Amino acid sequence: MPPDTPADTEIQSATPPAPGLRRSPLALLAAAAIGVVFGDIGTSPLYALRECFGPHSGLQHESLQVMGVLSIIFWSLVIVIGAKYAALILRADNRGEGGIMALLALTPTRAEGGVFGLWKPLLCIGLLGTALLYADGVITPAISVMSAFEGLQEKSPALEPWVLPLTVATLLGLFALQRLGTSKISAFFSPIMVLWFLTIAVLGIIAIVRHPQVLEAINPVWIARIARAEPWDTFVVLGSVMLCITGGEALYADLGHFGRRPISLSWYGFVMPALLLNYFGQGALILTDMSATANPFYRMVPEWGLIPMVALAVTATAIASQSIITGMFSLTHQAVLMGILPRLKVIYTSSHGGHIFVPTVNLLVATGAILLVVIFKSSSNLAEAYGLAVATDMACTTLLFAAVMRRHRGWRLWLLIPFLAFFLPIDLLFLGANVLKIPSGGWLTLGMGATIFIVMMTWMRGRRVLAERFHRQTLAFDHLINSLDAHPVPRVSGTAVFLTPMTAGVPPTLLHHLKHNKVLHEQVVIMSMIPAQVPVVPESEQLEVWRERIGFWRVHARHGFNQPVDVPRLLRQARALGLQASEGTTTYYLGRTITTPRGNSGMPRIQKRLFCAMAQASANNPLYFSIPPGRMVELGIQIDL
């Protein structure tokens, strides 16, 4: 990892983000949100209710149990998604941005700020939620696309062997298209998802009309009845009910793209009614035909409409998967800029800041999703691994939200305690029910989440050790000036820009350059790259420029965790503030740290080796910070951890 690099990221395109959809009318924003925000939760009816009565569930198909499960689903959507996320969590925005990274950035408690300044339990909660979001991002495309193709079995059992290869082929195509970006095809997402929600709503209405008594399940008394009759089986079935609210975290993650009001409007006014109508329609069908539990969603579809419905379902699940994948890209970009993950290659696929492509993440998620399809072979088997990540993430979000509202929104205990007392037990109930899935598939989720958590903790700990080492080696600027006055060195024409994360002192790259080359440029600029705990730093607040003495300048450049780091652009802005530098004669100096596990930093040896491997991989990217390769010089420094 280069020691004097700003926030460890690489941007292949320096095009600044253009104004997004946020300026569009409310109705248009709400319609656009339907295609992006609700894809995951919108395709849950394909498998959620089926799993509640599947072979892994202890429930039978009796009237009490069907009505009880429907009542649990209804109130889960109303309370967890409608009340907690849409009404409350969406209010915890970080300058308009949402998601667990934005929430984590709102919780610094020590003067140094940044992720290193977080109270350790909050940091661990945030990183755990982030790690499990990655696990969820691997599972969601696999289970969604596979469940859509399983509708072919309802047309003819002879088509069953085609489900697996068609699923793999669709996923391969979906991940292969990521490099092209989604800006050209995203305009079609909303109309297709609107059609999807209208279709599942109509199917539900038709089934409800045949058995309208199913609407009585709205009464929460049914939950009390089933819990009293079969308490253990009711608790166990919560692990399957969880499937109907997976994707709820997308409401918060996409807050920055659409805003709170459009997301809430589309949820309350369109998406939630469509979902409830479909779930109640499936329940009505089960009450009249108990064999429908094998696949109640497709059993509602007339035989003549099965193939078109499968096609629509595959398209909808592909859109849902697309939203999850791009969400993983955005999450990674934020984590890299916050110093939680190593520098990864980030490619902007359009002029809009939200359209990015992260090749490493795309490859890893694609490999994981396809392996899951091949290993588990059916969406029912894969459902056993699904839900645990979402349940844990929702509990983490509840705790972080409470901390943020206490610190930044002034919530007093009389508000905070009722919030936690109401929502946290619900989260823990879902989490406990999903813990029961660990032997039958949840182990996979835990394994993926634990691996990512260890990677993030290792990277952060290693960076902190390096920062402490470089801080001890940092020379005060006055000492450098006194040394140059006593022993002058030749000055050559041009400008040298030394990038550093430190805000004071002389960066090691400058000392390294002076030691080996014994010469300095006429203009020496020490540019400190400072990551801010906000999504975007306004241009007027990005730079501070002052002259240390003749020929020496210091620049403090701040950037948010949703901003590309474009150093040449920042230098042009600095010239407008008085910096004397010509772009054509500027050379940029960056440090490349070669880490070895031979030191005595206190890190376990296996953790040292992991950090060294990540540091080496992150340092091998050919472009840094939009700096032209021909104007960049790297200076290597070895550090023993």
pLDDT tens digits for range 245-294 = 988 888 888 887 788 899 999 999 999 999 999 999 999 999 988 888 88
Is residue 215 very low, low, confident or very high in pLDDT (cuts 50, 70, 90)? very high
Assess whether 51 and 197 both reside in one domain: yes
Query: Would you say residue 368 has pLDDT above 50?
Result: yes
The pLDDT of residue 10: 33
The pLDDT of residue 20 is above 50: no
- Cβ–Cβ under 8 Å, residues 106 and 92: yes
Residue 1 lies in a domain: no
Residues 214 and 189 in one domain: yes
Together in a domain, 510 and 420: no
Same domain, 17 and 84: yes
| Separation between Cα atoms, residue 609 and residue 615, nearest integer Å | 10
Residue 467 within any structural domain of the chain:
no
pLDDT at 476: 84
Q: Are residues 417 and 489 in the same domain?
A: no
- Same domain? For 169 and 313 the reply is yes
The CA radius of gyration of the chain, in Å to the nearest whole number, is 27
- For residues 137 and 325, the answer to whether their CB atoms sit within 8 Å is yes
Residue where a domain stops, chosen among 430, 461, 492: 461
Task: Please name the residues in contact with 57: beta carbons below 8 A apart, sequence gap of 6 or more.
Answer: 51, 233, 236, 237, 240
Q: Spell out the alpha helix ranges (H) of 215-271.
A: 221-229, 231-241, 249-253, 255-258, 260-266
Q: Which pLDDT value is given to residue 225?
A: 93
Please spell the DSSP secondary structure of 88-148, one letter per residue.
IGGG--BTTB-SHHHHHHT-B-STT-TGGGB-HHHHHHHHHHHHHHHHHHHHHHHHHHHHH
pLDDT, tens digit, 9 for 90 and up, residues 89-98: 998 888 778 8
Distances in whole angstroms, Cα of residue 26 to Cα of each of 22, 32, 248: 9, 10, 21
- Rounded distance between C-alpha atoms, residue 508 and residue 515, angstroms: 10
Task: Check residue 525 and give its pLDDT.
Answer: 92
pLDDT mean across residues, the chain = 84
Q: Is the pLDDT of residue 11 over 70?
A: no
| Residue 22 and residue 164 in one domain | yes
**Average pLDDT in the 53-62 region?**
68
pTM: 0.83
Q: For residue 458, give the amino acid letter.
A: T
Residue 7: the pLDDT is: 37
Instruction: From 408, 433, 461, give the residue that closes a domain.
Output: 461
Work out how many domains the chain is built from and give that number. Answer: 2
- How sure is the predictor about 362, in pLDDT bands with cuts at 50, 70 and 90? very high
Highest mean pLDDT: which of 52-56, 201-205, 628-632?
201-205
pLDDT tier, 474 (very low <50, low <70, confident <90, very high otherwise): confident
Helix (H) or strand (E) holding 546: strand 543-549
Can you give the residue range of the structural domain that contains 589?
474-640
- Same domain assignment for residues 479 and 373: no
Using CA of residue 315, residue 321, residue 326, residue 330, what is the dihedral sign? positive
Q: Could you report the per-residue pLDDT of 106-119, keeping only the tens digit for each?
A: 775 554 445 555 56
Q: Is residue 182 part of a domain?
A: yes
Residue in this structure with the two tokens 């400072």, named with its chain if needed: 530
Determine the average pLDDT of the residues in 487-516.
Answer: 87
pLDDT, residue 144, reads: 92
Q: Indicate whether 3 belongs to any domain.
A: no
pLDDT tens digit sequence for 573-605:
888 888 877 878 899 988 777 888 887 877 888
**Mean pLDDT in residue range 554-583:** 85
The mean pLDDT of 16-23, rounded to a whole number, is: 43
Is-contact 387 434, C-beta < 8 A?
A: yes
CATH value at residue 59: 1.20.1740.10
Query: Is residue 251 located within the same domain as residue 337?
Result: yes
Residue 514 and residue 550 in one domain: yes
Pairing of strands 552-559, 632-640: unpaired
Between the two ends of the chain, the Cα-to-Cα distance in Å is 12
Its sign, for the CA torsion 139, 142, 144, 146, is negative
Note the pLDDT tens digit of each residue in 280-312: 999 999 998 888 888 999 999 998 999 999 999
Q: How far is it, in rounded angstroms, from Cα 545 to Cα 506?
A: 16
Whether 38 maps to a domain, the answer reads yes
The reply to whether 560 and 444 lie within a common domain is no
Does a structural domain hold residue 469?
A: no
Chain-centroid distance of CA 474 in Å reads: 35
Q: Are residues 526 and 403 in the same domain?
A: no
Of 461, 484, 518, the position where a domain reaches its end is 461
Contacts of 596 (CB under 8 A, 6+ apart): 612, 638, 639, 640, 641
Q: Does the pLDDT at position 222 exceed 50?
A: yes
Which among 30, 92, 34 is positioned nearest to 262, based on CA atoms? Answer: 30
Evaluate whether residue 56 is within a structural domain.
yes
Most confidently modeled of 37-41, 193-197, 319-323? 193-197
Please check the confidence at residue 58 and state whether its pLDDT lies above 50.
Answer: yes
How far is the CA of 34 from the CAs of 26, 39, 311, in angstroms?
13, 7, 19
> What strands lie across the sheet with 10-11, from one edge to the other?
10-11, 345-348, 356-357
Of 37-51, 167-181, 182-196, which gets the smallest average pLDDT? 182-196
Residue 2 lies in a domain: no
Q: 389-393, 446-450, 479-483, 616-620 — which is least confidently predicted?
A: 616-620
